[in-house]
Structures are given as C-alpha cells and as structure tokens.
Amino acid sequence: MHSSNAEDRPSSYALSGEMELEIGLKFMNQESAMLATKTITSVGVQSISVARVGRVSVRVLGVLQEGLAREAEGNRKDLWTIVDLQMVSYYVRNTLDRDSVMFYQVFWLFPSCVQAFRHCKPLVLVDGTHLYGKYAGTLLMGIAQDGNNNILPVAFALVERENTDAWYFFLTNLRRHIATRLGVLLISDKHAAIKAALEREGCGWEHNVYYVRHIASNFTTSFKSKEAKRHLVNVAYSKTQEQAQYYLELVSSEDPVASPQMMGWIRGLEPPKWLQHLDEGRRYGHMMTNLSECINSVLKGTRNLPVCAIVKSTYHRLNELFVVKGRQAQAQIASGQVFSQFLQKAILANREGIFQMLVTSYDRATTVFTVDDIAAVGALHYPCAHALVACAYARLEWQQYVDLVYRVESMFRVYEMEFQPMPDEEMWPPYEGACVHPNPLLRRTLEGRSVSTRIRNEMDEVEPGPGKRCGLCRQPGHTR
C-alpha cells in the first residue's frame, strides 16, 4: 500500500490490477468508492465499507487484527475519501477466512467536533478509562476545552490495552484529524507507553506536557511527605522563576534526611513539561485533569455497553452537549455579553485590591511602568491584576489583551455545527463488507459478579458526601 497523498486526483474509475488504494484517494460518489473497494477485495483484500449519516459524516477508522486500518470520510455531499488502509487476514483453526475479520481497535470522531476544536483552546488532554462490559478493553479519549473552561470530548478510540502501539494509533490519528493546526499542546500523564509513542517517527506532536496531579502522585509514591507534595504542586503552578525557587526550597526543608533524594527526583523531570512558567503560555493555566468529570458528563453509563452501543452513545451524548452549550452561548450573545463567564469572574477577582497598588511612571508618555510581575498575561492569556492597574493608569482598554478564545462569539462557534439525526436502520444502505468478530481472548469470565468500580488511590478526587445528619430531624449541622 502506498502512503502518498492523492488529494488532487479525484477518481471515478474502478481500480485495475495495477492500481492500489492510496491514502487520500477521493471518489466523486458513493458508487465509485464501493466499486473500487469491491475490486480490490476480489484480488485478495478484505472489503471496505463506506458509511455516511445524512450530509454530516461520521469518520470511523478501525484497526482490525494484524493491523488493518481503514477510514471512510464524506466531508461534503458526493465526496468520499479513503484516508488510511491496511490489509488483514483472519484465520479459523489455521484456515484463512476471507469473509471475516476480527475486531482489534477503532478510532472515531465527528465532523462537529473537528469544527468545534478550531475555536477551542489549542490544547488536547488525553487519558484512558477501562471498559466494564462483556469484553475487556480501554477507551482512549481526546478532550478539548472552550473559552468558558467547559470540557469537550473530540475523539475516541477503543483499544485492547494501553500500550505503545495503541497510543501511537490514537495520537497519530488525533493529530491528523483534530489537532491539525501548528502549536497544539498535548497534555498527558507520564505513562511510559505515551512517551514511547510520542518518540516514534511520524507521531506528529511537537509540544507535550504532563499533568501535575500524576507527577504529584508519583512523588508521593516515593516520598511520604504530604507537605512536600503540596509545595511541589505550588512549584508547578508558579508563574515566575523566583516563585518556583521559593517553593523548591520549602520542599527541600520539609525532610532534611530525604532532601537529597527529593531534589534528585525533581531534577529528573523535564522542567518545560511540568513548570507553568516555562510552558510559553501553551497550557492556558490548565495544570490538572479530571477525566471522571468528562465521563460523567458525556459517557456516564456507557462503559458497560458493547462497541457499537458506545459509538452510538457518544454520538447522542455529544449532540445533547452541543445543543445545551450552544443555547447558553446564544443567550449570552443576545444579552450583550462579550466575554465568557469564566473570564468575567477572573477579571473581577484580579481587580480586588488593585486600588492599593502603586504605579510608578518613568516617562511623560506613560508607556514605561514598574510592575512586579505580569507573567499571568502570557500564561493565562488574559490580564492579571498588575496588567489591569497598568492599563487603567495608561488609559488603555484591557480587553485588547484578552485571547479571542474567551469571547462569546468563539464559544458560539464551538457549538455552532449541529449534529444531524441518524436515519432509521431500515434506510441504511446494505452492508457488503466482511463479518466482524470480537476477540475471544478478551471475553470476561462469567463466574462471579462483574467488576463495576476500581480501587481508588490518593490521586482520585472524591466528591464530598452529604455529611452527617441528625437522627431525629434529619437536618445537617448537628446530631441528637
């Protein structure tokens, strides 16, 4: 199979024996695409199916046993593109079965999410969660964030386990189809498989950093000092070198005996990957992740479902999320708001106490000031308290220093492209591809009760309970 791009060569012909399917090969209609896949099937390759939901397509890239990758894409009406293709063989008792394939892993996303990410912050958070259904597996997710700090899942993958091949499969397709612009930041944990996948040739990610929570958890595993862990988190959040050095000294002073080992462990970390003041503002202040929040908002109750049901659930849950958030953004525009509610609260918090600050001017044009620190402008992409004071003194509009992602118009564009309703299954075109079988080795044992939860550790955030109540009046705050 060729890996060359065939974007500029639309095709309406069938493939001859001397031709092969190529990455990016386009067909002007569905009939031509199906004819080409049938032709290539006749010469020994498993058949490929192309599907579209109305005028808005669902991009699905599946990797079957021994590495078959396929993607059917219809970006606009009457245009079908095969993006990636690899061959597969399926054996039953050492006999090749040309009519069947075995499911291995799948990557999918929706065009609405592709369009939405163009107006989100230029960063993607990736993480995985286990499946609790009949078959074992792991769900990998790529999560974006809009200007109001709302999380938005933009890409999904079902894999056998979190290994290097699975993460490389997910990250390369995430970079190819979602994070297509330059400078997009990848935020992940320090999983060895993720690091190995990023180091592979062709992965495509230039910038990646770590979650502070995972670094703090790894630190606690080696050193049992909770105060040192708290100071380490403050080091990561520091916006200046001086502030980071101050908290590093506090970490060293917590345990004089283990101090050399602690500082050696910290020096083993790559500073730009966990220190906020060295990330050149790419994090937008995003240091932590809470995957459970994403699962509860979009995927709650779906991890026990089969593969097809999980894909369908993500479609309907994201559609609901787009409708709700789109209405909220539209209402904010109608009320005359310019910036997101998150930014409005942040500016109000930064304005507290600015009247007690002293601004000293050093020229008649009022363009040079003494300011203690304005690193937050670059780190968070909106003015800090010092910048607000300087703008007020120089009679400048602070709004011009706010990133466009925090504007209500950008938030509306995130959820502007709506999902189209799925037609009834009776209206779907007949499926002419190979029969897909699950991997029997991943089937869970039927003995005993299935596992529905996992053992929590100190890294997990536990939601606060209702608290104690009175045994007589059942009201909180006191006991009988």
Q: Say what the pLDDT of residue 334 is.
A: 92
The answer on pLDDT for 232 being more than 90 is yes
Of 6-15, 86-95, 315-324, highest mean pLDDT = 315-324
The answer on pLDDT for 302 being more than 90 is no
Phi-psi region of 323 (alpha: psi -120 to 50; beta: other; left: phi over 0): alpha
Q: In terms of domains, do 30 and 99 share one?
A: yes
Q: In terms of domains, do 433 and 398 share one?
A: no
Q: Say what the pLDDT of residue 195 is.
A: 92
Lowest mean pLDDT among 222-231, 296-305, 410-419: 296-305
Q: In terms of domains, do 437 and 378 share one?
A: no
Q: In terms of domains, do 6 and 45 share one?
A: yes
Q: In terms of domains, do 19 and 77 share one?
A: yes
The string of pLDDT tens digits covering residues 46-101 is 434 444 433 333 334 433 333 333 333 333 333 333 333 343 566 677 777 777 77
Q: In terms of domains, do 6 and 73 share one?
A: yes
Q: Say what the pLDDT of residue 434 is.
A: 77
Domain annotation covers residue 245: no
Of 106-110, 370-374, 440-444, highest mean pLDDT = 106-110
**Closest of 233, 244, 271, 186 to residue 375, by C-alpha:** 244
- The model scores a pTM over 0.85: no
Question: What's the mean pLDDT in 335-348?
Answer: 90
Give the count of domains, the chain: 2
Q: Say what the pLDDT of residue 18 is.
A: 40
Q: In terms of domains, do 9 and 43 share one?
A: yes
DSSP string, 300-363: TT-TTS-HHHHHHHHHHHHHHHHHHHHHHHHHHHHTT--B-HHHHHHHHHHHTTGGG----B-S
Comparison of pLDDT for 372 and 7, the residue scoring more: 372
- Burial class (CB within 10 angstroms; exposed 0-12, middle 13-18, buried 19+) of 467: exposed
Domain annotation covers residue 241: no
The answer on pLDDT for 327 being more than 80 is yes
59-64 and 68-76 strand pairing: antiparallel
The answer on pLDDT for 11 being more than 50 is no
The answer on pLDDT for 42 being more than 90 is no
Q: Say what the pLDDT of residue 465 is.
A: 58
Q: In terms of domains, do 347 and 435 share one?
A: no
Lowest mean pLDDT among 21-35, 37-51, 132-146, 324-338: 37-51
Q: Residue 345 and residue 121: Cα distance in Å, rounded? A: 18
**Number of Cβ within a 10 Å radius of residue 479:** 9
Of 89-98, 322-331, 427-436, highest mean pLDDT = 322-331
Comparison of pLDDT for 206 and 77, the residue scoring more: 206
Does residue 20 sit in helix, strand or coil? coil
Reported as a pLDDT band with limits 50, 70 and 90, residue 255 is: confident
Domain annotation covers residue 349: yes
Domain annotation covers residue 157: no
Q: Say what the pLDDT of residue 420 is.
A: 81
Q: In terms of domains, do 364 and 432 share one?
A: no
Question: What's the mean pLDDT in 389-395?
Answer: 80
Type of residue numbered 297: S
The string of pLDDT tens digits covering residues 364-374 is 565 665 655 44
**Which two three-digit tokens encode residue 262?**
């602690």
The answer on pLDDT for 275 being more than 70 is yes
Q: Say what the pLDDT of residue 473 is.
A: 79
Reported as a pLDDT band with limits 50, 70 and 90, residue 457 is: low
Q: In terms of domains, do 12 and 65 share one?
A: yes
Q: Residue 66 and residue 90: Cα distance in Å, rounded? A: 9
Q: What is the dihedral of CA 345, 337, 287, 124, to 10 degrees?
A: 170
95-96 and 138-145 strand pairing: unpaired
Q: Which domain holds residue 360?
A: 341-406
Domain annotation covers residue 69: yes
Contact between residue 393 and residue 324 where contact means Cβ atoms under 8 Å apart: no
End-to-end CA separation in angstroms for the chain: 76
Domain annotation covers residue 70: yes
Domain annotation covers residue 16: yes
Q: Say what the pLDDT of residue 69 is.
A: 34
The answer on pLDDT for 406 being more than 90 is yes
Q: In terms of domains, do 347 and 427 share one?
A: no
Domain annotation covers residue 43: yes
**Number of Cβ within a 10 Å radius of residue 477:** 8
Q: Say what the pLDDT of residue 174 is.
A: 92
% of the chain beyond a pLDDT of 90: 22
Q: Say what the pLDDT of residue 121 is.
A: 93
Task: Give whole-number Cα distances, 117 to 32, 261, 379, 407, 445, in Å.
Answer: 31, 42, 20, 15, 40
Q: In terms of domains, do 17 and 65 share one?
A: yes
